[in-house]
Every structure is written in C-alpha cells, then in structure tokens.
C-alpha cells in the first residue's frame, strides 16, 4: 500500500476508501503510481487510435475513457466519485452536472455561441470543476478535450503549454491559476495557456 504519497500542489487527496481501490498492492510511492498510471494511459491512447468513431459527448463515453485510462490501476476507474472533495460539485449532483454540460456543449456548437477554442476551453474547465472521478480528473479532462477538438470540432488538439502539467513547476502553476480564473468566468488566461508554445 502507498505510504510515501505526496500530492502535487492542486491535487485532490484520495480518501481511505478510494485508496483501498488500488489494484497494485506493491506500489509504495507517488512516483511508482504515476508510472503505472502513465502505462495505463498509453494503453488507452492505443485504444483510442483503434476504436470506431462514436459520439464522445455521452456519459457512457466519458466513463469508458476514464476506465480505459485508469482501470488497470484503480477498481473505481470509470465510476463517478462517491465522496466529497475540497473542490468540485457535490458528488450526488455529478450525473446531472455532466448531463447539463454535454447539452450545453451541443447547444454552443449548433448556435456557434463561442469560437471553437472557447467551446473546448469551457468544456475542459467544467469537466475539471465538476471533478467527476476520485482521481485522474485533469488528465481525463485534457484527453477528453483533445478528442472533442479533433473528433467533434475538427480542430487541432491544444498544446497545453507543451510542458509537464502534472509536474511541480511554473507550467502547472499557470494551468491551475488559469482554471481558478475560469471558475470566475474569466477564460482569457486558459485560452492563452492551451495554445501557447514554449
């Protein structure tokens, strides 16, 4: 069981019940967990390359993608969280929040309410803000957003500032700050961040 588990700034700690969902009992550090999760995410990327095109703006797909990304590491992968966190929607409201978001996104596309990038940024922000799952929300939301850009909006994926958002550095700090500004309906910093190159 993990005993040297240091969370990077801005991460949401898992509760003891969620930690019990770890399938790999030999993991003892955050670094080991990151490596196994990344291996699982790489398999999910392979699955995405080979899958049949389908509607990604569904609860079923949102959950399936999370399960493909983390299902070899966590028993609860692909299931909405069932615990309160210091961020996100109240957990009983998650299905309704996601349903509303998916309907909003369809409306924005149909009525050209915002530019493609702003629709994608708003989609990404709301996925992160809702905090659908116990863990992996940022990585899942970024991959969902890139799929959305590519498959639905027929646009290039975001660069995400071409750095390590998961690391403890200025890039992550900027990403988290841009999400906090978006919490207050200011998407300008996030719009700049997602297309910036070094």
pLDDT for residue 27: 87
pLDDT for residue 7: 60
Residue 39 · residue 68 · CB < 8 Å: no
Superfamily assignment of 16-195 in CATH?
Fido-like domain (1.10.3290.10)
- 82 φ/ψ angles, rounded to the nearest 5 degrees: -130, 40
Reported pTM = 0.91
3 state SS of 23: coil
pLDDT for residue 11: 67
- Secondary structure string (H, E, C) spanning 141-166: HHHHHHHHHHHHCCCCCCCHHHCCCC
Q: Per-10-residue mean pLDDT for the chain, 198 residues long?
A: 55 80 87 93 96 94 98 97 91 98 98 98 98 95 97 96 72 93 97 85
pLDDT for residue 187: 98
What number of CA atoms fall less than 13 Å from residue 186's CA on the CB side? 6
pLDDT for residue 1: 46
pLDDT for residue 26: 86
pLDDT, averaged across the chain: 91
Domain boundaries, the chain: 16-195
3 state SS of 115: coil
């Amino acid at each position: 069981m993990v005993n040297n588990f240091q969370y990077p700034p801005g991460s949401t700690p898992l509760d003891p019940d969620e930690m019990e969902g770890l399938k790999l009992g030999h993991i003892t550090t955050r670094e080991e967990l990151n490596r196994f999760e990344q291996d699982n995410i790489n398999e999910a990327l392979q699955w995405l390359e080979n899958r049949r095109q389908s509607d990604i703006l569904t609860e079923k797909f949102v959950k399936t993608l999370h399960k493909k990304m983390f299902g070899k590491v966590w028993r609860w992968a692909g299931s909405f969280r069932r615990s309160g966190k210091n961020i996100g929607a109240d957990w009983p409201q998650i299905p309704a929040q996601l349903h509303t978001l998916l309907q909003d996104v369809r409306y924005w596309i149909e009525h050209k309410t915002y530019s493609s990038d702003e629709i994608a940024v708003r989609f990404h922000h709301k996925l992160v803000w809702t905090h659908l799952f116990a863990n992996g929300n940022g990585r899942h939301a970024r991959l969902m957003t890139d799929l959305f850009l590519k498959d639905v909006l027929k646009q290039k994926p975001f660069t995400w500032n071409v750095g390590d958002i998961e690391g403890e550095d200025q890039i992550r700090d900027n990403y988290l700050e841009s999400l906090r500004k978006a919490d207050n309906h200011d998407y300008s910093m996030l719009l700049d961040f997602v297309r910036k190159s070094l």
